[in-house]
Amino acid sequence: MPYPFTIHHLRFTAVVVTDIEMGEFKGSALRGAWQSHLRTLYCAERGSAARGAVDPLHASLCPVCYLLSREADKSDNRRPYAFEPPLTPQSRFVAGERFSFGMSIVGRAIQFLPYIVLSVQQMGETQGLGRAIHSDRRRGTFRLERIAEINPLAETERTLFVAGDPMIQMPQSPVDEAQVAAASAAWAARLADAGNCLTLEFLTPTRIIHAERLVHRPTFVPLLARLVDRVITLRVQFAELPPLSYEEKGELLAWGEQVELVRDETVWWDVKGLSTRLGRPQPLGGFVGRATYRTAEWARLLPWLLWGASAHVGKNAVKGGGWYRLAAPAERTWKRDT
Ligand SMILES: [Zn+2]
């Protein structure tokens, strides 16, 4: 039995203990701190794991190697998680303040939830997060206050953990195939009533490389191509479902060719991060804002767009890049012509 394809959405709420400076691209700080903490804490073979020379038995049993061993891969597609950074422009959080962030966890990787939770908690309390702004090169710290499971398609939220209670509930309502199918049908009907115009709202920098070139505008085919790459890789790796055939992918991209970008309200957010591994600034920039598309037939494309809203698209997906949502036609609230 193949493991079903699912994406769990967790939402962490934290209280700042000592001031935290996360920089402009907060997902990068979160992911960097979490990854290094997870590795230090739980992997006995981290030296060999970093060199990609780990024993296969260890690799299949160790949560760190399962979650992070694919880090050496150049694309983010094979990584079974994605951070959802706080969307506020604020980058510094002072003692006593609260902030929250999300993490999407794909398919089988959810079995390692206890490690994920413990590493987030300990990263906050001991190693800290963001820039080393305190004495002795210490980072700011936080205390985990609450973890909730949310399901953006079912619009549900359930508490899994609250500080002070030693119990943690396992999540039980991930985004799954049935929900994506139902949501796709509902969206198709809604779009048909609205002139078949669909608006995507890119919440974090979306960095798409197509035919080896950086794409500066949210044109549809490059976006769809990267979306299909990410979702298919995750399905194959973490749910053991078959890949798309060459013909199936070609057919899907042909549907994508029919989609016209009718209104581009995105801007380029040029942001750089520092890669500790590479020791040099890393370009993280991408487009953010709204883009509206039109096509006569959305039905085949909607499931991919809905999965992508959970998995993120493009470069830096795991650090929170390429996070977008489908906006209802009536939701036009900003930049309205008056
Ligand atoms: Zn390991």
Question: How far is the centre of ligand 1, averaged over its atoms, from the C-alpha of 134 (Å)?
Answer: 31
Same domain (yes/no): 153, 182: no
Same domain (yes/no): 158, 204: no
- DSSP secondary structure, 146-165, as one string: EEEEEETTTTEEEEEEETT-
Domain boundary among 140, 162, 184: 162
Same domain (yes/no): 78, 200: no
Counting every residue written for the chain, the total comes to 338
Question: How far is the centre of ligand 1, averaged over its atoms, from the C-alpha of 64 (Å)?
Answer: 5
Question: How far is the centre of ligand 1, averaged over its atoms, from the C-alpha of 57 (Å)?
Answer: 10
Question: How far is the centre of ligand 1, averaged over its atoms, from the C-alpha of 60 (Å)?
Answer: 9
Distance CA(5)–CA(174), nearest Å, equals 9
Same domain (yes/no): 49, 119: yes
Neighbours of ion ligand 1 (CB under 5 A): 43, 45, 62, 64-65
Please answer whether residues 191 and 329 qualify as being in contact, where contact means their C-beta atoms are separated by less than 8 angstroms. Answer: yes
Q: Is residue 302 in a domain? A: yes
Question: How far is the centre of ligand 1, averaged over its atoms, from the C-alpha of 44 (Å)?
Answer: 6
Distances from the Cα of 40 to the Cα of 32, 36, 91, 119, 128, angstroms: 12, 6, 26, 10, 14
Question: How far is the centre of ligand 1, averaged over its atoms, from the C-alpha of 54 (Å)?
Answer: 8
Same domain (yes/no): 313, 207: yes
Question: How far is the centre of ligand 1, averaged over its atoms, from the C-alpha of 280 (Å)?
Answer: 26
- DSSP secondary structure, 28-46, as one string: HHHHHHHHHHHHHHH-TTH
Same domain (yes/no): 312, 212: yes
Question: How far is the centre of ligand 1, averaged over its atoms, from the C-alpha of 72 (Å)?
Answer: 14
Q: Which CATH number fits the domain that encloses residue 122?
A: 3.30.70.1890
Same domain (yes/no): 139, 221: no
Q: Is residue 171 in a domain? A: no
Count up the domains in the chain and report the number: 2
Question: How far is the centre of ligand 1, averaged over its atoms, from the C-alpha of 71 (Å)?
Answer: 12
Question: How far is the centre of ligand 1, averaged over its atoms, from the C-alpha of 239 (Å)?
Answer: 21
Judged by DSSP in three states, 83 sits in: strand
Residue 119: domain span: 6-162
Domain boundary among 135, 162, 189: 162
Same domain (yes/no): 147, 185: no
Question: How far is the centre of ligand 1, averaged over its atoms, from the C-alpha of 51 (Å)?
Answer: 12
Q: Which CATH number fits the domain that encloses residue 273?
A: 3.30.70.1900
Question: How far is the centre of ligand 1, averaged over its atoms, from the C-alpha of 297 (Å)?
Answer: 46
Q: Is residue 168 in a domain? A: no
Same domain (yes/no): 134, 194: no
In tens digits, what is the pLDDT along the chain, a chain of 338 residues? 678 899 999 999 999 999 999 988 999 999 989 988 888 877 877 666 666 667 778 877 788 888 876 555 566 778 899 999 999 999 999 999 999 999 999 998 898 898 898 899 989 999 899 999 999 999 999 999 999 999 999 999 999 999 988 888 999 999 999 999 999 999 999 999 889 999 999 999 999 999 999 999 999 999 999 999 999 999 988 888 888 999 999 999 999 999 999 999 999 999 877 666 566 778 889 999 999 999 999 999 999 999 999 999 999 999 999 999 999 765 544 444 43
Question: How far is the centre of ligand 1, averaged over its atoms, from the C-alpha of 279 (Å)?
Answer: 24
Same domain (yes/no): 190, 156: no
Distance CA(106)–CA(304), nearest Å, equals 15
Same domain (yes/no): 157, 12: yes
